[in-house]
Amino acid sequence: MHPAGAAAAGTLRQRKWPSKRRVPVSQPGMADPHQLFDDTSSAQSRGYGAQRAPGGLGYPTASASPQAAFLGDPVSNMAMAYGSSLAAQGKELVDKNIDRFIPVTKLKYYFAVDTVYVGKKLGLLFFPYLHQDWEVQYQQDTPVAPRFDVNAPDLYIPAMAFITYVLVAGLALGTQDRFSPDLLGLQASSALAWLTLEVLAILLSLYLVTVNTDLTTIDLVAFLGYKYVGMIGGVLMGLLFGKMGYYLVLGWCCVSIFVFMIRTLRLKILAEAAAEGIPVRGARNQLRMYLTMAVAAAQPLLMYWLTFHLVR
């Protein structure tokens, strides 16, 4: 498995992903396409196994101290084995039940990113005007992991951007002598509350307009979290260059996020109309278009509302 895995990983990194919609699966040299992360377990376990063996052998002969004699005792060996099996059972139980409350396997998809994807996505968030193809590639009816398609939503950038926003807000407040530690928590709570409100409002409107989309709640959280990147840019420029810099950069980021959201949501909400590429004049489609525009227009408003008090 190890040489085959290394060869497959090598080909995966060197090969450019094909640009058609359906990715061909039947290629013997490629790693399993359903795999989200590279498999390094064989290398790891081999290394740990080699390390553990001499350590285990060295135990009874290493020192003649009472501790070594105590641990070499067969009864405490059995106790250690029983304790480790108990821990393994507990871990199994937690793993089985955690999937009921937090959809861990679904979340893993959103964190399957790599540096190239993050770089391209950040470029897309600041400059979405030249990007042509916004459709997410599919592979046997499941969307491709974000590291293989720059159009797929991910949760890594929104999560990191949120945390960075809270820290940058603390920094901005500190430069104006308005900082106190509980304000950090207040900023974080406020931003989260606005995000939750946005998600609930959009879910309600999607329900009322009876749109049949495959836009899941986590997708929505991911798309709505992309505005934190623009907010960080605006506040940092405001710290460096004053109000003028803040307004310029924030204005640019607002327009970019507006265009980005419209182009992304158009494919999800207005699926049939967008496939043809022409604006359709039905009453239903008009309502959906209004909904997309409203969601996209709310982004710049929230970006301004959450940052203007940080730049003086």
Q: 183 or 293, CB closer to another protein?
A: 183
Least spacing, CB of residue 168 vs another protein, in Å: 16
Q: Select from 27, 63, 196, 286 the one that contacts another protein (CB under 8 A).
A: 196
User: Does 212 participate in binding another protein (rule CB under 8 A)?
Assistant: no
Residue 218 CA to residue 192 CA, distance in Å, equals 14
Of the residues 209, 240, 275, 294, which one makes contact with another protein according to CB under 8 A: 209
194 is a site residue for another protein (CB under 8 A): yes
Q: Which stretch binds another protein (CB under 8 A): 113-121, 190-198, 235-243, 245-253?
A: 190-198
CB-based contacts of 226, cutoff 8 Å, min separation 6: 125, 157, 158, 161, 257, 260
Stretches 20-28, 105-113, 208-216, 225-233: which one binds another protein (CB under 8 A)?
Answer: 208-216
Task: State which of residues 193, 240, 244, 297 lies at the interface with another protein (CB under 8 A).
Answer: 193
Q: Which of residues 222-251 bind another protein (CB under 8 A)?
A: none
Q: Which one of the spans 174-182, 207-215, 228-236, 272-280 is the region binding another protein (CB under 8 A)?
A: 207-215
Q: Which of residues 249-288 bind another protein (CB under 8 A)?
A: 284
Distance CA 57, CA 55 (A): 5
Q: Which of 13, 15, 22, 309 binds another protein (CB under 8 A)?
A: 309
Among 190, 251, 280, 304, binds another protein (CB under 8 A): 190
If one asks whether residue 43 binds another protein (CB under 8 A), the answer comes out as no
Paired strand residues for 138: 143
Which residue from 100, 210, 214, 281 is in contact with another protein, where contact means CB under 8 A? 210
Tokens of 142: 């499941």
Residues that bind another protein (CB under 8 A): 186, 189-190, 192-194, 196-197, 207-210, 284, 309
